[in-house]
Amino acid sequence: MKLATYTTKGKTAIGLVRGDRIVDLSALAPDMIALISSDALMAKAKATPADAPSLALADVTLRAPVLNPGKILAIGLNYRDHVEESKMALPEHQVWFNKQHNCVNDPYGTINKPVVSDMLDYEAEMCFVISKRCKHVPVERAHEVIGGYFVGNDATVRDWQLRTNTWQIGKSFDTHGPVGPWITTADELGDPHTLDIKGYVNGELRQSSNTKHLIFNCFDQVAHLSQAFTLDAGDIIFSGTPSGVGMAMKPPSVLKVGDVVRVEIEKLGHIENKVVLENGATVIG
């Protein structure tokens, strides 16, 4: 199945994507986390009649599939070619950081170019969502707790990222986590580690790889993280980016206002985000 969160006529709901149309599933569950965390509800969604009423995708606004994730976790240095372009040692252990929930953005939403930095970069990534609360999950069972996969852009403010060892703030600016366009469930996708992944800036191909090149694959990631802390339904995982990021180019290439970043992954679709200047006004309350 392809499961999306969308807004139409001021109402936000979850839906089942079929071709260029979407079927409202809000009668089943109030949001995506409630749906994917229930085997019974997922079975009902899968059994949706072929002639169920639907809307044209063109007539709705696709939102981030999971609007309010509990945790957003991202792994760094997880493609060998990206490690090499970053001039860093191949990691012995998985390198993790948090992205704050405020960064979550719609698949076709705009990305803010921060007023405090001119070093905005892109990172094409495959993401996945946890569907079952879990702890100490062995690698061979990790697939049981993944609800599905989708496309992401781990947008990064490089100077803020690199001024500290934790990376967290530079990875967490508002709007800097566009994801979507929908969740493709594992039963429809098959093997998540055989997918072409590409990133474009203004139509120019910058990143091109395949998820088979992940150093630590998605199941390794679940096993590792769940040794440390409980993963909850709705947690989002960014699985790493291949080579071709802007700051590794010669000369470095940063994103500018008006640039359009497109990330596409085989079988998962694409997201596309235009860079706009952040409104730097003070907000209190």
- Chain segment 18-52, per-residue pLDDT in tens: 999 999 999 999 999 999 999 999 999 999 999 99
In sequence order, the 6+-apart residues with CB closer than 8 A to the CB of 83 are 77, 89, 90, 91, 215
Q: What are phi and psi of 132, to 5 degrees?
A: -135, 130
Question: Residue 13 and residue 30: Cα distance in Å, rounded?
Answer: 7
Question: Residue 124 and residue 273: Cα distance in Å, rounded?
Answer: 12
Instruction: Label residue 124 exposed, middle or buried (CB < 10 Å: 0-12, 13-18, 19+).
Output: buried
Question: Residue 231 and residue 228: Cα distance in Å, rounded?
Answer: 9
What are the angstrom distances between the C-alpha of 49 and each of 24, 41, 54, 98, 284? 12, 14, 11, 40, 48
**8-state DSSP, 190:** -
What are the angstrom distances between the C-alpha of 111 and each of 186, 258, 268? 29, 10, 21
Q: Locate CATH 3.90.850.10 in the chain.
A: 72-277
pLDDT band at 91, cuts 50/70/90?
A: confident
Q: Are 235 and 71 in contact (CB under 8 A)?
A: yes
pTM value is 0.96
Handedness of CA 129, 134, 136, 138 (dihedral sign): negative
pLDDT band at 103, cuts 50/70/90?
A: very high
SS3 for 273? strand
- Asked whether the predicted pLDDT for residue 74 surpasses 90, the reply is yes
- Asked whether the predicted pLDDT for residue 87 surpasses 90, the reply is no
SS3 for 159? helix
Which CATH number among 3.40.50.200, 3.90.850.10, 1.10.645.10, 3.30.70.330 corresponds to the domain 72-277? 3.90.850.10
At residue 154, the pLDDT reads 98
At residue 205, the pLDDT reads 98
> Which tokens sit at 267?
């079988």
At residue 48, the pLDDT reads 98
- Asked whether the predicted pLDDT for residue 89 surpasses 90, the reply is no
Question: Residue 1 and residue 16: Cα distance in Å, rounded?
Answer: 7
Rounded (to 5) percent helix, strand, coil in the chain: 20, 35, 45
Cα 138–Cα 144–Cα 145 angle in degrees, nearest 5:
90
3-state secondary structure string, 56-83? EHHHCEEECCCCCCCCEEEEECCEHHHH
In sequence order, the 6+-apart residues with CB closer than 8 A to the CB of 25 are 3, 13, 14, 15, 16, 35, 45, 48
- Asked whether the predicted pLDDT for residue 159 surpasses 90, the reply is yes
Question: Residue 171 and residue 190: Cα distance in Å, rounded?
Answer: 30
